[in-house]
Amino acid sequence: MKLAIDALIEGIERMGNPTAVGLDTQLAHLPEGFAGKVESFADAADALLRYNKALVDALCGIVPCAKVQIAYYEMYGVPGMQAFRETIDYAKAKGMVVIADAKRNDIGATASAYANAYLGETPLGEKADSAFPVDFVTVNAYLGLDGVEPFRKASAVRGGGIFALVKTSNPSGVQLQDLKIGERTVYEVMGDLVSEWGKDCIGEHGYSSIGAVVGATYPEQGAALRQRLPHTFFLVPGYGAQGATGKDLRGCFDAQGRGAVVNASRSILTAWRKQPGVDFAQAAYNEAVRMREDIMEGIRA
């Protein structure tokens, strides 16, 4: 069974593009008239799904990964969650590695239920089925090992993995994450824990299935964490709309240009706004190409 972390690395190298498209899709991101008349959750969910499929069709040949933020589907109730599931299935069918950005956290049986929903299987009498069969799920690991172990166990079902929050991209994260515990910051302590939890989950390319979320908006800290965590793969938010550029990302990658996948959401989802007269899917493709070139130039610098 191929591990998802190896599939992600191989997809990145095959396309020469260490990026993920964030399908944090909202009605406000859609061009005027695309959604039609929205009067129900079902109408909204249908519009989001059609938009996502068009973007996946446009990007699957150059972007190896899709990160689907569950919040923008939960808000539309049951139809929204159906769109979430269909988005996952469609992206995977097009060959993309899929991350569910759900930031789940709990302990014991509850953590196991979350883990089964995304990485494992839910028992159904004598059978079992996968509710939202993604390759990775984001996890808030600040509850400690008993909130992570169920995800690590469930990941064995299909070879999936997790990305645990370590150093997040939001400005107020420093209020907690930069506090000192002895000689280490809180985010360094968390990074060390993630490394320890993942030491038995190393794939054939030298990276663990237990990865870390490390924000691009803190380049110095990202570079220090890269040196500190040589076998921990990074999911890097904060590029594009949050302000980070390719030159800010070099430190998140190893000497071979591996070790991270960079997410962009709004800058791709709404690329049509900055490209007048260009079809939204073509505009997203154009932005994805520009993003790839910017990041690769930063890595090579």
Catalytic residue positions, numbered = 103
Spatial contact of 285 and 62, defined as CB atoms under 8 Å apart: yes
Integer Cα distance of 41 and 68 in angstroms = 18
In the three-class reduction of DSSP (H, G, I as helix; E, B as strand; rest coil), residue 122 is classed as: strand
**What gap in Å lies between CA 74 and CA 84, rounded to an integer?**
8
Task: Give me the phi and psi of 100, to 5 degrees please.
Answer: -90, 115
Tokens of 296: 């690769």
Closest CA to 116 of 105, 130, 98, 134: 130
What residue ranges in the chain does DSSP mark as E strands? 19-22, 65-69, 97-104, 122-124, 127-129, 136-139, 161-167, 180-181, 184-185, 210-214, 234-236, 260-264
Instruction: Return the bridge partners of 262, or none.
Output: 19, 236
